[in-house]
Amino acid sequence: MSTTALIAGTGALPALLAAAMTGEWVLCEMEGFASAVPGVDPLRFRVERLVPFLERLVARGVRRVVFAGAMRRPQLDPELFDPRTATLVPRLLAALQAGDDATLREVIAIFEEWDLVVVGAEQIAPGLVPGPGVLTGAPSEADTADVLRAAAIVAALGAVDVGQGAVVAQGLCLAVEALPGTDAMLEFAALHHALRPDPNGARGVFYKAPKPGQDRRIDLPALGPDTVAHAAAAGLAGIAWEAGGVLLLDRDATLAAARERGLFLWAR
């Protein structure tokens, strides 16, 4: 019987996938990125010893791998590389210089070379990816126009492997997502809410989507109750995202938070 490896980072997603796991599975954590999965002893690894880690997975009968949670680029110690992992360094460095999406594609390719099948989080927990529709609230015509503008901006950002989100109000881009992440972008939008031309006009929207051509088995965008709280603090009218392309973490709590704060949620 094959085993699934859950390679977990930080955030809520690893615990949600752990709860949805069936059959044999093993929790894996990169050193320095402890996940919030309770009651499970993780198999820890370092990038500098990636090949021995892959061998351990294969030896344990792992045939399927799912990545979940946030991870920053680790600080690498050249002295810790084993000879076989060292041969992968040129590939990894070239990918790192090309951007996050290129890096993740290279990681997937390396795992696949060990006959490990990489699957997306939605294959473990399909309910995390909502279908199209307005889940709560009602976007206005002005909100819809801002969503369309934000979607175009996110597509342009993704094409150069920069980010997966943007905040637009009254047709103007207040903030875009970059390396600091979604929360930092929304905090920036909150600090600059006065840039809206009409104080009584449309409050603005946050839009999220995968990058064009992104391999959706890894680093799929995610939204949750905390995202709603940050969007509300930024004074926004709602959150929209590409239907089928974003994970909705803790759906019930996220919808409740949006209703409480008067925000719409729209999978478009």
Q: Are 206 and 137 members of one domain?
A: yes
pLDDT at position 135 over 80? yes
Q: Are 138 and 58 members of one domain?
A: no
**Total domains in the fold of the chain:** 2
pLDDT tens digit string along 60-83? 999 999 999 877 777 788 889 999
Supply the pLDDT for residue 1: 59
Q: Are 64 and 142 members of one domain?
A: no
Give which of 251, 173, 240, 235 is closest to 209, Cα–Cα.
240
Q: Can you list the alpha helix ranges (DSSP code H) found in the chain?
A: 13-20, 50-59, 83-86, 89-98, 100-113, 121-124, 141-159, 182-191, 225-233, 251-261
Q: Which domain holds residue 85?
A: 3-124
Q: Residue 211 sits in a domain of what CATH number? A: 3.40.140.80
Q: Are 188 and 201 members of one domain?
A: yes
Q: d(Cα 83, Cα 117) in Å, to the nearest integer?
A: 25
The CA–CA distances, whole Å, from 258 to 190, 225, 226, 251 equal 17, 8, 10, 11
Give which of 5, 20, 115, 24 is closest to 67, Cα–Cα.
5
Highest mean pLDDT among 7-11, 176-180, 233-237: 233-237
- The pTM score is 0.85
Q: Are 139 and 254 members of one domain?
A: yes
Give which of 173, 213, 179, 224 is closest to 196, Cα–Cα.
173
Last residue of a domain, one of 124, 157, 182: 124
Strand pairing partners for 28? 7, 43
Q: Which amino acid would we find at residue 76?
A: L
Contact 229, 214 (CB under 8 A): no
Supply the pLDDT for residue 220: 85
Give which of 249, 258, 212 is closest to 130, Cα–Cα.
249
Contact 242, 131 (CB under 8 A): no
Percent of the chain whose predicted confidence (pLDDT) is above 70? 99
Q: d(Cα 199, Cα 184) in Å, to the nearest integer?
A: 23
Last residue of a domain, one of 102, 124, 146: 124
Q: Are 139 and 98 members of one domain?
A: no
